[in-house]
Amino acid sequence: MNEAFNADKDDLRHPYRRPRDAAALILVDRSGRAPKVLVGKRHHGLVFMPGKLVFPGGRVDPGDNRVPLASPLPKALEKTLTGGRPRIEASRARALAVAAIREVCEETGLCLGKKAVSKPAIAQAARLAGTWKPFAEAGLLPDPSQLFLVARAITPPGKIRRYDTRFFTADASAIAHEVKGIVHADAELIELVWFELGSSPLVDMHLITRQVLDELEARLAAGPLSHRVTVPFFHFRRGTMQRETA
């Protein structure tokens, strides 16, 4: 998904293409002296951003709003997600958060969830299928309660693929299960690396991604993450990136 923001050499033949909802998840490890973020290296044979470092992410699937959850979406996070322009329904906000969890599991094998303990929850977990099968096998339900929204960004007009992306973050301690073998030499992501915030490899990431990282670094430096903060919205007007806050 992240290739949609790498638009430097694309043409502008699609000015009216509507952006599609998408979500990305930045996992942060704060167990050491400096926070580290998880990035994946894309396969060199891919058409878009070959060999580039990206965050796991992708577009929202129709079924994301119907997946049973271990915990509801926090009300403060829901308020932030639904309060943008244009306003969106709570169901759409839920789908965005769930998509972030699904994408990171699909692309890295890292699953954010909680053990199903009650009989109804165990039954719900057992019924998970398709891309959610790793959760079912581990007896987990996806858990959006530990997600925080960092930023929103829309791909510039004119690109053949456009996304309206919400960038979430979560602490690495939220990882409840790992599926081995997802990342390999022939996969979309051929390598996963934890980099310290501000390290030189992250400087080479795309402009929007670097802006989002700057926002995350400032949030982490300010103290514990909170939903009650202003979330920036990056978009393009007449070819120039704009940063707005609600």
* DSSP-assigned states of every residue in 157-193: TB-SS-EEEEEEEEEGGGEEEE-TTSSSTTSSEEEEE
- What confidence score (pLDDT) does residue 24 get? 96
Three-state DSSP at 74 gives: coil
Query: Quick check: 75 pLDDT over 70?
Result: yes
Q: Which residues pair with 169 in a beta bridge?
A: 26, 148
Mean pLDDT of 140-159: 91
pLDDT band at 127 (very low <50, low <70, confident <90, very high): very high
**175-178 and 110-115 as β-strands: parallel, antiparallel, unpaired?**
antiparallel
Cβ-based neighbours of 75, under 8 Å, separated by 6 or more: none
Query: Quick check: 1 pLDDT over 60?
Result: no
Total domains in the chain come to 1
Query: Quick check: 4 pLDDT over 90?
Result: no
pLDDT band at 48 (very low <50, low <70, confident <90, very high): low
Question: What are φ and ψ of residue 165, in 5° steps?
Answer: -105, 135
The 10s digit of each residue's pLDDT in 193-245 is 999 998 988 887 888 889 999 999 999 999 889 998 999 999 888 778 889 88
**By percentage, how much of the chain surpasses pLDDT 90?**
66
- What confidence score (pLDDT) does residue 15 get? 57
**pTM (2 decimals)?**
0.89
User: Is the model more confident about 41 or about 141?
Assistant: 141
The 10s digit of each residue's pLDDT in 5-37 is 433 444 445 456 788 999 999 999 999 999 999
C-alpha dihedral (131, 106, 64, 217), degrees to nearest 10: 160
- Residue of 162, 163, 117, 164 whose CA lies nearest to 143: 117
**By percentage, how much of the chain surpasses pLDDT 70?**
91
Q: Quick one: tokens of 146?
A: 């530990």
Provide long-range contacts, Cβ within 8 A and 24+ apart, for 18-21: 18/162, 19/154, 19/155, 19/162, 19/163, 19/164, 20/59, 20/60, 20/162, 20/163, 20/164, 21/59, 21/60, 21/92, 21/95, 21/96, 21/99, 21/163, 21/164
Which of 8-22, 123-137, 155-169, 196-210 is modeled with the greatest confidence?
123-137
Q: Quick one: tokens of 78?
A: 């829901």
pLDDT band at 95 (very low <50, low <70, confident <90, very high): very high
User: Is the model more confident about 169 or about 44?
Assistant: 169
Cβ-based neighbours of 204, under 8 Å, separated by 6 or more: 53
C-alpha dihedral (128, 134, 140, 146), degrees to nearest 10: -110
Whole-number mean pLDDT of the chain? 88
pLDDT band at 50 (very low <50, low <70, confident <90, very high): confident
Q: Say which CATH number the domain at 84 has.
A: 3.90.79.10
* Domain carrying residue 170: 2-245
Q: Which residues pair with 27 in a beta bridge?
A: 170
Residue 126: which H helix or E strand, with range? helix 119-127
Ordered strands of the 110-115 beta sheet: 140-142, 110-115, 175-178
Query: Quick check: 46 pLDDT over 90?
Result: no
